[in-house]
Amino acid sequence: MSLDEIRAATARADSPLTAAILAARWVRSAGADDEHGRWWRANPDSRGASAVTPEPWSLYSGAAGIVLFFLELAAATGHEAYLEDARAGARRLAATWREQDDLTLYHGLTGVMVALMEAGWALGDGNFEAEAAAIADLIVRRGREAGGDEGPQWSRDPAQRGEGGIILGLLRAATHLGVPAYEEAAVEAGLRIARLPVPGHRFGDCADLPVDAVTPGFLAGTSGTAFLLARLYGVTGVDRFLQAARSGAAFVREVSLVTGACAVVPHHVPHARSLHYLGFCSGSAGVARMFYELYRVGGDPADLEWVLRLAKGIVRSGAPRRRTEGYWNVACQCCGAAGVIELFVGLWAATGDQAHLDYARALAADLIGRATDHNGQGYRWYQAYRRLRPGEVTADTGYMVGAAGIGSALLHLHAAGRPGDPRRVVLLPDNPFPAIPLPPSAVR
């Protein structure tokens, strides 16, 4: 029996772990089984629909992300029931992935591949890893068919939401599954992206943006592409990748607003220079990942200085107590508090600076305090996922947009608070921070 079944429905969370357990109760209330396994509704709340288009399989809002959450919750609590949740979801992913056509990391098969690799490793099930390899084979084959002599190509978008995420997934698969061909395809595709004049400047098709907008952010912008190129430099040592990554980083520095030791990044230019998101997708928490990856592979202290500038910019904004245009009523991993917690937990693990962990705890305390459990079905976070639609309030279950991802961020914080019991946490391929969230001094 798992803790979310034992704990009283009226109990309030007294720790990040307890909050994650109660979030699991909400996710479980959305579960549905069929002959293939288990999937989860994006929002089981009878009062409203999901904040996003239904994607029952995806990492962003569907089963792939929820499988990762349950794997982590099982590791944190030692309760086998959560492993069975993950197993049921992975079984369905393995049986149905061929019905999907999208290849991307967050919305398509690359994310499913990542979930199946993690499930295979945690559950000791080689069938899941075999299906992950079949997905990787399909991705490489599709890329080579589309790219021809120019090398593998999957879309015209080099950002994390497009080719960038696919390439990062292939790099993860090459390491996890031990197949060099996946890395070879990733490197070939990366070399083509590295030839772009300034990486990441092809984003006129983003929803709600002007057609000539340039986005310096992470998920759909320059920072995410520069992160990819820095990662490829770390893998290959090819200087072209480092030069291209630094080109993208230079653009981000140029358009950012720097005040003393603080920096914030515009959502898009030239139209929204004064709109500064704080979260992962388009704001400081994501852009900081790019600068840290550059520091990690290149060793330039100036890149780490920019990571810290962005972190200080978040603190200076007044979050979590102060709501701004870039930190509104949103709690999720994508653009809200959970994604910011991930940054500060990662920074503490990377630097050992206690101030980062203290701030992550302050963010978590505010986030937990905003949770709702009005009917005893578990913690959920009602949020205005879309900033431009403040009246559209929903409480989703998925990883990037809902309770599973919020729960995962809280589990990472919980792991960081246990130096005597270090454990591996599941980080996505675009997270550059230590997979055991402890500074080296604490491990020693």
**Mean per-residue pLDDT pooled into runs of 10, the chain (444 residues):** 48 84 97 97 84 92 98 97 98 97 97 98 98 98 93 91 96 98 98 82 59 87 96 98 96 96 93 92 97 98 98 97 92 97 98 97 97 92 88 92 98 94 96 95 72
Looking up tokens 């400047």, which residue turns up?
A: 201
CA distances from 388 to 209, 235, 320, 371 (A): 11, 39, 20, 22
- Helix axis angle, 16-28 relative to 354-369, nearest 10°? 40
Q: Considering the entire predicted model, what is its pTM?
A: 0.95
**Run of H or E residues at 37:** strand 37-40
Looking up tokens 């149905």, which residue turns up?
A: 96
DSSP 8-state symbol, 327: B
State which amino acid sits at residue 89: G
Long-range contacts of 338-341 (CB under 8 A, 24+ apart): 338/367, 338/405, 338/406, 338/408, 338/409, 338/410, 339/279, 339/280, 339/281, 339/285, 339/286, 339/409, 340/278, 340/279, 340/280, 340/285, 340/314, 341/367, 341/409, 341/410, 341/412, 341/413
Secondary structure (3-state) at 39: strand
Cα 285 from chain centre? 11
CB atoms near residue 210 (< 10 Å): 12
The span from the CA of 88 to the CA of 63, in Å, is 10
Q: What is the pLDDT of residue 132?
A: 98
The span from the CA of 67 to the CA of 432, in Å, is 21
Secondary structure (3-state) at 248: helix
Closest CA to 118 of 175, 54, 42: 175
